[in-house]
Amino acid sequence: MTCGHGCHGCCGDHGTSEALREANQRNSTLNSEKTQLQGDLLNKTKEIGEKDKQVAVVGKDLEHARGQLTKTEGELKTEKEKVKELTGLFDNLQIEGSNKDRQIEIQSKDIRVLKTELNKMEEKSLELELKEQERKLNEFIQKLGIGREKPRELQKAYRQLIRAREDYNQNNIDEADDKIEDIKDELLSSG
């Protein structure tokens, strides 16, 4: 084996120089590693700086999102209150509508009862009118001294008139009125 200064390992300096050379080589390797590690550290520091900036941006975005969320929650709460208020108003309207329906139903029943009473009163009025007409007719017949046939026809015509009025049939009313007038004319002309 030959050493760096030319001896074949027989000199006394050989061990020291070899150790120095190994130490220098090791020092050089360490310096190289140190430089590389410093470069890596610098890169990592830059990356950390970039990540810190990104974290700061994300933090600002998060703060903004929280603000928007708070605002949206407030708006949602307001909308829920409006919906609750509208639901209450709608319920009140349904109750009022139901009450109105009941009132209308009661009033409709009252109207039906009143119509029935009115019809009964009209019938009674017509019956009274007929009886009065019959009474007058009988008095008139006695005064004139005529036969009972024509007065009976007149009574029959008055009954037809009353039925036509009850049915609200204008054609039958007109026919009965005409027949009554014809009979009256015959009675007056014969008397």
pLDDT digits 0-9 by tens, 148-166: 787 788 888 888 888 888 8
How far apart (Å, rounded) are the C-alpha atoms in residues 119 and 139? 30
Residue type, position 163, single letter: R
Does residue 38 carry a pLDDT above 90?
Answer: yes
pLDDT of residue 15: 65
Per-residue pLDDT, 30: 92
Confidence of residue 132 (pLDDT cuts 50, 70, 90): confident
What gap in Å lies between CA 154 and CA 29, rounded to an integer? 149
Question: Rg of the chain's alpha carbons, rounded to an integer?
Answer: 63
Q: What is the pLDDT of residue 25?
A: 94
Please check whether residue 129 lies inside any domain of the structure: yes
Residue 140 included in any domain: yes
Structural domain boundaries enclosing 150: 121-190
| Residue 35 reports pLDDT greater than 90 | yes
Q: Check if the beta carbon of residue 2 is closer than 8 Å to that of residue 8.
A: yes
Domain count, the chain: 1
CA-nearest of 158, 161, 165, 166 to 131 is 158
pLDDT tens digits, one per residue of 121-131: 888 887 888 78
- Tell which wins on pLDDT, 27 or 17: 27
Domain annotation covers residue 68:
no
170 found inside a domain: yes
